[in-house]
Structure formats: C-alpha cells, structure tokens
Amino acid sequence: MRYLKLLLFTIICMFITPIITHAECDYQRQAELSRLASNVQLAYTYSETNGFQVIMTNLTNDLYATDLYDRVIAGGKEQVFNYASGSYGFDIYSNDPACHGIKLIRKTITLPVFNVYSLYDVCQQYPNFKYCQVWGNINIDHSQFMSEFNAYKKNVLSEKQSITKEEETSVLDKILEVLKNNIVMIAILSGIIVVTIIVIIVTKKRK
C-alpha cells in the first residue's frame, strides 16, 4: 500500500510541476515572445569558398532555436551556419524562465540547387535559355535538354533573321521616302549634271 501511495504521489507531481513552472507565463508575455520570434530573420549567402551560409538574425536573449539536427542555438547574437542545398527548418522557443521551452514559431529557408546544365557550352552562348540558369532544380534528362534547346535556338535565329529583314526594309523605305520627297530637286540636279557633261563633251570636240 505504501508503494502504491508513493507511485500515486509521483504521478500527481508530474502533472502539477509543468503547471507550477508556467504559472507566471501569462497570455500577454506569450504574445510578446511570439512577436519577438516572428522578427527572427533567415537569409543566406553563397561563395565558392564557403558554399551556402545561413545567417540568423534578431534571435534575442529571450529566445533560443533548434535546427533539424536538434542543435540548440542560443540567442543574443547573429548566428551563421553552413548547409548544402535544400530546405531547412528552425524551431524558435521561449528562453524566458517563466515560459521556458514553449515553442513559438518555425522558420524555414530554402537553399537553391546548383544546375549542372549551366556548365554546358551552349549555356555560355545562350545564357537566357530557361534551363541555363545557375540555380534551379532542373529535373530533365540530357536528351530533353538538347531537344528543347535546339527548338529555342531555332526560334532565336528566326527572330534575328526577321529583325535583320525588317531593318533592311526600313533602310530601303527611308531611301525611297527621301527620293520621293526630293524628286524635284533631284531632277534639277540631274539635269544640271547632264547639261554640264554635254557642254564638256562638246567643248572637247571643238578643240
């Protein structure tokens, strides 16, 4: 009977302890902590030397965080982590003694995937092709890439030819427009030139 009472007392204490622990964590304080947690920012940088670096800011001393590896991240200063491409979640908790351990929010960040097709020679020549971007999860095989690229290249060349023809036509139209607007002056100048040539020829023959 004594052991039964001891067991019952232990179970009751297990339920009462969290209530006592969070007795002072009122709604107003939780709302304030939630606001602080929502201000936590995640950003990333990339360099060939360090790869992706995730930067966490605004994690105050009233908060702490954990990542997917259950690593505890203390608040109070800017935090920098190295990760590979992918999506990562950070759970933000209260570090206030009265509300300690209460989960407030989850922050996520996605690091883009390097596109190996961007290394192709054709991508150096046609960087605007949709599958030539440096970052992007391109789920196609080589044959599909080349098929769509050849169609893109054909379309680009066709557009360039159309632009060239339009430019040539535009230049010709401008020449004809000039001739049309100055036909009288051109006729007079032509007549003067013809008369001058005739006079020169006749003068030479007389000599």
**Predicted model pTM:** 0.57
Instruction: State pLDDT tens for residues 56-113.
Output: 999 999 999 999 888 999 988 899 999 988 999 999 999 999 999 999 999 999 999 8
Domain assignment present for 182: no
Domain assignment present for 146: no
In angstroms, the CA 67 to CA 78 distance is: 15
Domain assignment present for 68: yes
| Structural domains counted in the chain | 1
Q: Which structural domain range is residue 65 located in?
A: 2-111
In angstroms, the CA 204 to CA 207 distance is: 5
Domain assignment present for 180: no
Q: Report the CATH number at residue 83.
A: 2.60.40
Chain Cα centroid distance, residue 164: 34
Domain assignment present for 18: yes
Domain assignment present for 181: no
Contact call for residues 87 and 109 (beta carbons, < 8 A) = yes
Domain assignment present for 128: no
- Which has the closest alpha carbon to 129: 120, 76, 54? 120
Instruction: State pLDDT tens for residues 14-67.
Output: 444 444 444 578 999 999 999 999 999 999 998 888 889 999 999 999 999 999
pLDDT in the model for residue 145: 93
Q: What is the DSSP string of 18-72?
A: HHHHTTT--HHHHHHHHHHHHT-EEEEEEETTTEEEEEEE---TTEEEE-TT--E
Domain assignment present for 98: yes
Burial-class residue 122 by CB neighbours within 10 Å (0-12, 13-18, 19+). Answer: middle
